[in-house]
Amino acid sequence: MNNRKLMLGNEAIALGLVENKCAIVTSYPGTPASEILSSAASLQKAGNIQMHTQWAVNEKIAFEIAYTGSISSLRTAVSMKQVGLNVASDPLMSAAYMGTKGGFIIISADDPGPHSSQTEQDSRMMAMMAKIPVLDPDSPAQAREMVSMAYELSEEFGVPVMLRPSTRVCHSRQDIETSRIEPANCDENIKPDFQKDPARWAATPKFRYQLHKALEEKLAVIAKYEKTRPVRKNPGPVNSTAIVVSGVCAAHAEEILKDLELWDTLPLYQVIMPFPLHTDFISHLIDTYEEILVIEETTGIIEIQLRDRHRVKGKMNNIVPCVGELSPEKIEGLIRQTAGMTSSIAETKSVPGRRPTLCAGCPHRASFFAIKKAAPKGIYTSDIGCYTLGLNLGAVDTVLCMGAAVSQAAGFFHAYKNEAKKPDIVATIGDSTFFHSGIPALVDAVVQNIGFVLVILDNRTTAMTGSQPTPDTGLGASGEPLKRVNIESLVKGCGIEFCKTGNPYNLPDFTALVKEAVQYSRKNGPAVVISRYPCLLDRRQKHADPIPVRINENCDGCGYCIKHFECPALVMEQENQPVYIDPILCSRCGVCIHVCPKGSIEKKI
C-alpha cells in the first residue's frame, strides 16, 4: 500500500499539527500562509477530529485565541503571513514574557521577493525582538518535522516557538510519508486545565520585570539545547572556510555543492534555529574557521549573532544580497566566489510580463469606474486586497497597510480642510479588510466628522487569498454554519448616518449612488456606500443571469473602454483598430454596455 503523498508545504505543516494533537488552530488568510488552516480544517473534517479551526477577524484576534488555549494546557497554533505578524505583535511581545503551558506555535510565513506582500520583512527578526526561539525549515518535509520539535521546545521551556517557512517552502511540493496519520486517535487526552495565577497571567509591570528576567534565563538555556543544535551536513571536509545556511537556502546550497563537486571540500552547516543561535556553535565557528560565508533570507539574523564580523561574509559587507529571494543561481555564484571558482552563471534576464489586472467581470472594476465618474478629480485611498489593482484604472492613489484606506482619507481631509478648494476623497476597502482593521478607523472618522466617502467592496468573501469566509459569510473554516455579522448594521452602529447599498453591475444606478454620497460628504461628513456583488470565482454564491454582448459597427477604435475599464475580455490588437470581445475570457456581466460613450458595445440579441 502506498503511504506517500505529494504534499504542498502548507499541507505538510497542517499534517504536522494534526499528528501532534494540536487542539486549536487559528489564522487570518494571507499568502503564502493561507493553506495551512484550510488544510488543517480538511483533515479535521475528514477524520472527525476534536480540534477547533477558525478564521479570525484579524491576526491579533487569531493569536490571542490560540495563545489562550495554550495557557489552558492545550497544544495550539496560529498561522499568518509575515505582514500579519505586525498586527499580532502586541500580544506576541507579552506572550513571550508570560510564557505558555501547552505547546504554542506561531507560524509566520515569509515572502522574500516579495511575490504578494507589501514588505520583505524577516519574521526571525520579530522573534529576536520578542525573545522567542524560531525554527527555519528548508523543505515541506522538514517543516512538518519541525512542528513536533517546536511543541517539544515550547513545552520544555514554557515559551511560544515560531516556525518560519518561506514562500518556497509553503508553496513547493514534496513526496511525504503519511503512514503516521491516525486522525481518529488525535483527540485523546486533550483536556483543558487553566491554573489561575494572576501574578503571571495578569502581571503588573513589577512582575513583568521578573518575567523578563526569567525569559532571558530560558533563552540562555535554549541557546544550548541539544535538539536544535546546527547540523553539519557533510562531516568529512576540512577547510579554513565554512558555509552556514538556513531555511530554503540550505536545500539549495546542498544541491549546488554536490553539483560543483565541492561537497567533500567545503564544510556546510545548517542552522535550524536561527535565534537564539547556539553559543557553542558560535565558539566552534570562530575557533575553527578563518572565513565564514552566511547565506540566509532575508535579514542577517545569524550573521548578527556571530561575534567576529571580520571573518564573516554576508549581508553586512554586501557580499550576500540584502534584497530579494536568494535563488539557486545567486547562491551558486556566492559559493563559486568563495571557492575561488570562475562564475559561469548566466544572468537571468527579467522578461517584461503582463501587468496584473482585475478578473474579467470583477465587480470591483465597475465600482472603480463609478467612483471615477462620481469624483473625477478626487483623491482615492485604498487598501490591501485584489482591489489594489484599481490603481490600473486610476482609482487608487495610496495603499499603505490593512485598514489604512480610512485613516489616510482622514489624513487627507485634515491636510486640505483649510484650503478654499477641497478635493473629494473616496476610500475603498474590501469586506474582509473592513472587518480586519477598518472599523476602528471608521469610528475615528465619525468622531472627527471627516468629509469622505468609504466604498466597502463587498464581494462576500476574502477573494485574494482563496475565498476564505468573512464574518458576514456565515460559514466556518470547514464550511460549518455560523452566525453572521451584518455590515450595514455595523456601519450604522459606528455612527454613520449615510449608509446605502448598491449593486455595481447596475452601473448607472450605482454611479448615481456614489455621486449622492460624494455630495453628502461635502456638507455633512462621512458617508458609506456598500458595493455588493459576489466574486465571480466564488462558486458558492449566486450570480446574475449572463448578458451576452457584442461590438457594433460604430466602434472606431478610440480605446476609451480599454483605457478606462481595462477588462481583459475587451481586446484591441492594434491602435485605432476596432475592439473585439474574447469569448473565452468574457464573463457576460454586461457592465461594459454602459462604458462606451459612443454606444458601440451592446447586448447581443
Write the pLDDT tens digit of every residue in 246-261. 999 999 999 999 999 9
What pLDDT score was predicted for residue 186?
Answer: 52
Q: How far is Cα 325 from Cα 252, in angstroms, rounded to an integer?
A: 12
**What are the backbone dihedrals phi and psi of residue 392, each rounded to the nearest 5 degrees, phi first?**
-65, -25
The reply to whether 249 sits in an annotated binding site is: no
Q: How far is Cα 315 from Cα 577, in angstroms, rounded to an integer?
A: 52
The reply to whether 592 sits in an annotated binding site is: yes
The reply to whether 558 sits in an annotated binding site is: yes
Q: How far is Cα 242 from Cα 259, in angstroms, rounded to an integer?
A: 17
Q: How far is Cα 17 from Cα 405, in angstroms, rounded to an integer?
A: 36
The average pLDDT across 583-596 equals 95
The average pLDDT across 400-404 equals 90
**Angle at 391 (CA atoms; ends 390, 392), nearest 5 degrees:** 85
Q: Over the range 356-392, which residues count as b (16 or more CB within 10 Å of their CB) and which as e?
A: eebbbbbbbbbbbbbbbbbbeebbbbbbbbbbbbbbb
Count other C-beta atoms under 10 Å from residue 351's C-beta: 5
129 in Cβ contact with 102 (< 8 Å): no
Q: Where is pLDDT greater, at 440 or 541?
A: 440
Tens-place pLDDT, residues 126-182: 999 999 999 999 999 999 999 999 999 999 999 999 999 999 999 999 999 886 655
Count other C-beta atoms under 10 Å from residue 116's C-beta: 14
Best CA proximity match to 501, nearest among 517, 485, 523? 517
Percent of the chain with pLDDT strictly greater than 90: 83
What pLDDT score was predicted for residue 79?
Answer: 97
* Summary mean pLDDT of the chain: 93
Q: What is the pTM of this model?
A: 0.87
DSSP-based three-state secondary structure for 570: strand
**pLDDT above 50 (res 184):** no
- The amino acid sitting at 26 is T
The reply to whether 586 sits in an annotated binding site is: yes
What pLDDT score was predicted for residue 302?
Answer: 96
Best CA proximity match to 502, nearest among 528, 532, 473? 532
Range of 3-7, 71-75, 159-163, 600-604 with top mean pLDDT:
159-163
**Angle at 258 (CA atoms; ends 351, 109), nearest 5 degrees:** 55
CA separation (Å) from 354 to 10, 357, 525?
28, 9, 40
CA 154 to chain centre: 24
**Angle at 224 (CA atoms; ends 219, 229), nearest 5 degrees:** 115
CA separation (Å) from 156 to 161, 221, 225?
11, 11, 10
Tens-place pLDDT, residues 466-495: 889 999 999 999 889 999 999 999 999 999
What pLDDT score was predicted for residue 342?
Answer: 81
**pLDDT above 90 (res 231):** yes
What pLDDT score was predicted for residue 199?
Answer: 84
CA separation (Å) from 106 to 17, 18, 63, 141, 275?
12, 15, 8, 18, 14
The average pLDDT across 283-294 equals 95
- The amino acid sitting at 427 is A
The average pLDDT across 402-410 equals 93
Q: How far is Cα 569 from Cα 360, in angstroms, rounded to an integer?
A: 6
